[in-house]
Amino acid sequence: MRLLPLALATFAVGTDNFVIAGLLPAMAEDLGVTVPVAGQLVTAFALTFAISAPVLGAATSGMNRRTALLLALAVFVAGNAATALSTSYTFVLIARIVTAAGAGIITSAASSSAVALVPPERRGGALALVMGGLSASTALGLPIGTLIGGTNWRLTLWAVAGAGLVAALGIAVGLPKLTLPAAGFRARLAPMKQPWVLGVLVVTMTALAGSYLLYPYVAAATEGLTGGSATTLTVLLLAWGLGTLTGTLIAGPLTDRHRPERVLAVALLAATLVLAVSPIMMADLASAVVWAALWGLCIGIPVVPQQHRLVAHAPAASPILLGLNSAAVYAGIAVGGGLGGLAQNWITPARLGLPAAAITALAFALTLATTRRPAAHGNSTDAGHRHQSTEPERA
C-alpha cells in the first residue's frame, strides 16, 4: 500500500506530460497564439525535465526520500495550478517550466523510495508498480485528460494538480522517512564517470528513440487503415497503451526472477521484430490492434530492468542515476521524433516501422555490449540479487 502514492505521483507526471499535446489547439486559441507556438510548451517541458531530472536529483540526493518527494510534488502542483490560472502565453510557458522542474525529481525520487521500501528480491516488482503509474498515464490518463479538456483545457490541469496533491497527502501520511546509504556527495557522483553507466543510459535513449521514431506519427502511419477516423485511431492507441502498461507490470516479476539484462534483451529483440512487420500487420484493423498491443507490451518492459541495473550497481547514487535515466528517456523521445520527421523525406509514414526496427535493433546490440558489469561500487549488488539493504528510518 505504501507504493500506491508513489505510483499515483508518476501517473500525475505522465498524464501532465502526454495530455498537453491533445490540448494544444484549445490552448492556442485561448492564449491567442498559433498551434506551432503553443507546441513549444511541450518542448519547454521536455527540455526542462531532461535537465532537471539529473541536476535536481543530485541536489536532493542527500535528503530523505519523503522530503524530496513532498518538495517536488509541491512545485509540481503549484506549477499546474499556475498554468490553469494563467491568461497569457508567457506566464503559461513559465508555469510549464516550473512544473517540469518538479516533475524531474518525482520519477527518480519515487523509484528510489520504492527500492528502499522492499527487500532486494522484490525490487523489480516495486519498480514496476511505481513505473506502472507512468505507463497507466499513456493508457488511461491521456484519453481521460483529453476528454476533460474537451470542455475546458484548464480543467485538465486542475485534475492533474489534484492527483499530485492526493499523492502528496498519501506520501506524507503513509511513507516512512527513508534515507539512502551513507555516502558523500562526490561518492554519489562517482558512477556518472563510469563508461558502463554511460552505456546503460545510451541503451535507454536508443530504445526510446526506436519506438518514438514511429509513435508521434502513428496517426499518419495508419491513415490508410483508419481512413482518418478518430475512433479507430483511439482503439489502436488504447491497445498500445494497455500493452505498455501490461509490459511494465510484468517487467517487475520477470526482473526479480531473471537477470535484468536478459529481460531487457528479449524485450528489445521482440520489439525489433514487431516493428519490422508493422507494414504487414497494418493491413486490417484486427491485426493492427494485435500489433499495437504487442508493440506496447515490448516497449513497456525495458525501463524497469534498466532502472534495476543502475540501482543494483550503485544504490547510494540511485537518485542521480535514476534521474539520468529519466533524462535519457526524454532524450530518446526527442531524438526519435526528430528522426521520424527526417525519415519521411525518403519513406512514407506507413513504413516508419522499418527504421524504428533498425534503431531498436541497435539498442538490442548495445544491451549485449553492456551485459558485463564492472565491479560494484558502494552498496551495490551482483546482478541485483545481493544488496546491503537501505533500511527505512521511520519518523
Q: Mapping DSSP to helix (H, G, I), strand (E, B) and coil, where does residue 87 land?
A: coil
pLDDT, tens digit, 9 for 90 and up, residues 14-33 = 888 777 766 777 888 899 98
Which range of 6-10, 138-142, 165-169 scores highest in mean pLDDT? It is: 165-169
Q: What is the pLDDT of residue 181?
A: 57
**Res 394 pLDDT > 50:** no
Q: What would the mean pLDDT of 175-202 be, rounded to a whole number?
A: 71
Asked whether 291 and 235 are in contact (CB, 8 A), the reply is no
Cell of 59: 541536489
CA 388 from chain centre, in angstroms, equals: 27
Cell of 154: 484548464
pLDDT, tens digit, 9 for 90 and up, residues 357-393 = 999 999 999 999 988 766 554 444 343 343 433 444 4
Exposure string of 213-244, with b = 16+ CB inside 10 Å and e = fewer, is bbbbbbeebbbebbeeeeebbebbbbbbbbbb
Side-chain-side CA neighbours of residue 334 (13 Å): 16
- In this prediction, residue 245 has a pLDDT band, given cuts at 50, 70 and 90, of confident
- Look up the pTM and report it: 0.73
Q: What is the pLDDT of residue 381?
A: 39
- Of 103, 108, 119, the C-alpha closest to 317 is 108
- Of 369, 372, 370, the C-alpha closest to 382 is 372
**Res 44 pLDDT > 90:** no
